[in-house]
A and B are shown apart, each in its own frame.
Chain A
Amino acid sequence: MRAYTPKDDVQAKAYYTDRFYVAPQVPKQDVSTDPVFAADLEAISAKFEVKESFIQVENMVIYINAKDIYAVLEFMRDSLEYTQLTEMSAIDWLAKDDTFEIFYQMLSMNKRKRTRIKFFIKNGDAVDSVEKLFRCADWSEREMFDMFGIEANNHPFMKRILMPYDWQGNPLLKTYPLEGDEFAAWYEIDKIYGKEAREAIGPEIRDTARVDRYDSERFARLGYEQPKGTKITGNEEPTVQSYQEEGGVFMVTKFDKDTSKIIDDPQR
């Protein structure tokens, strides 16, 4: 019987885990341990609902409601000096509970602090675009749409950014295999030569360890290369490697090692 592979997460898995292995946790500190973060959190929680908050590896993490995101970021930008949105994207939790986790990484240059705002949305829901607050979210949201299929409301140009416009599938979903699906495998052939060329060009060779013993054209006969269609007998002459014909070339002098000067120290 074939081993069961889950369909909702086709990424590489650890092939062996100790039965009693308990993964340790990255330590989380309470927000009150840092006065600057504590003040920020207080200001935010006075106006918005904060579900959870802690400090992890020098970053404050705050979980909020999805509907508040625009207002929270606006408040942070205008009142709390978080002037830059350095990064935003999503994490795919579809296999676990059908949600996406969205994170916004904020930087305050005056306070030298970084805060991460997070929330969960259901699969199929859209987030509110913060493109009006931070222009950089324009591209980040497009990238998120491209990679996860999460749309942003009120975005001026909600189209794919990294993949071609006519691409199918969202590559960073856990259900999408690393090597791509059927559509991805034939994308360029279909587009350039048409479907009927598939047979002539053949499927992609993705096995990195593949060596064809009878292949007389590729690397299997390194040093003993033979032209296409030759019958391989097994006692071929080694290939002579040279960049010039034996008898010399018309009007081209050959490099002579003995009469050349070799410099030891390149920087002289």
Chain B
Amino acid sequence: MAQHKVNYTQDGGLPVALTSIDKIVNWGRSNSIWALTYGLACCGIEMMASGASRFDFDRYGTIFRASPRQADVMIVAGTLTKKHAEFIKRLYDQMTEPRWVISMGSCANTGGMFNTYATVQGCDRIIPVDLYLPGCAPRPETLQYGVMLLQKKIRANSASKAQKPKRLM
């Protein structure tokens, strides 16, 4: 059985740590960012690789969810085409607040190398984006760094105040 070693001489003799609600909510939020699997193209494979054995996303509390209703962050990994554009909007609308968007790869950022009639030139034309990851394809390390930056961003915001909804326009 686990031994709980509590030093009663510290912290005023109580087995508790005092903190503010704000901090604890942000701690919870930032360490369990559930991501919506939004692998659209090649970058989606790197996103899968970040979730798999070597890179192990679970360390960050990032677990891929298939449903937008359970997800906090949408990782747009891959080329967003004009035919697909409406679906990203639909799925984004289904996510609950607070929600964040990571745009992964040059295609999602700006259209990337596909400067053609069929690609949306950056997914920020459709939904508001919090974080842009450069690269084609970004390495899994880049995505992990991105998630850590997102955690930092979440911690910097006040959790108790109602968050302003992000707007594209």
Q: A-side interface residues toward B, CB under 8 Å?
A: 162-164, 171, 176-181, 184, 187-189, 191-193, 197, 200-201, 204-206, 208, 243-245, 249-252
Given A178-B115, A178-B117, the answer on whether A244 and B148 have CB atoms closer than 8 Å is: yes
Choose among B24, B27, B118 the residue with the greatest number of A CB atoms under 10 Å from its CB.
B118
A180 touches B116 (CB 8 A): yes
How distant is the Cα of A204 from the Cα of B110 in the complex, in angstroms?
9
- Answer yes or no: B166 CB below 8 A from chain A CBs: no
Choose among B82, B145, B148, B155 the residue with the greatest number of A CB atoms under 10 Å from its CB.
B82
CB < 8 Å neighbour of A201 from B27, B115, B145, B169? B169
Given A189-B125, A200-B169, A201-B169, the answer on whether A179 and B116 have CB atoms closer than 8 Å is: yes
B169 touches A250 (CB 8 A): no
A243 touches B89 (CB 8 A): no
Q: B-side interface residues toward A, CB under 8 Å?
A: 19, 23-24, 27, 31, 82-83, 85-86, 89, 110-111, 115-118, 120-122, 125-126, 145, 148-149, 151-152, 155-156, 168-169
Question: CB-CB < 8 A to B126: which residues of A?
Answer: 188, 192
Q: How many residue pairs, one in A and one in B, have C-beta atoms under 8 Å apart?
A: 72
How distant is the Cα of A12 from the Cα of B18 in the complex, in angstroms?
67
How distant is the Cα of A243 from the Cα of B153 in the complex, in angstroms?
9
Question: CB-CB < 8 A to A164: which residues of B?
Answer: 82-83
How distant is the Cα of A176 from the Cα of B86 in the complex, in angstroms?
24
B85 touches A192 (CB 8 A): yes
A184 touches B117 (CB 8 A): yes
B145 touches A192 (CB 8 A): no
10 extra interchain contacts, Cβ-Cβ under 8 A, other than A208-B115, A245-B152?
Answer: A171-B117, A179-B115, A180-B118, A187-B82, A188-B85, A188-B125, A191-B85, A206-B115, A206-B121, A250-B27
Question: CB-CB < 8 A to A193: which residues of B?
Answer: 169
Q: How far is the CB of A266 from chain B (nearest CB, A)?
A: 8
Question: CB-CB < 8 A to A206: which residues of B?
Answer: 111, 115, 121
Chain A interface main SS type: loop
How distant is the Cα of A249 from the Cα of B155 in the complex, in angstroms?
9
B118 touches A163 (CB 8 A): yes
Residue of B nearest to A197 (CB): B169
Residue of B nearest to A208 (CB): B115
Q: How far is the CB of B31 from chain A (nearest CB, A)?
A: 7
Question: CB-CB < 8 A to B169: which residues of A?
Answer: 193, 197, 200-201
Given A179-B115, A188-B120, the answer on whether A252 and B82 have CB atoms closer than 8 Å is: no
Given A163-B83, A243-B152, A250-B19, the answer on whether A176 and B117 have CB atoms closer than 8 Å is: yes
How distant is the Cα of A83 from the Cα of B141 in the complex, in angstroms?
48
Given A163-B83, A192-B126, A244-B148, the answer on whether A205 and B110 have CB atoms closer than 8 Å is: yes
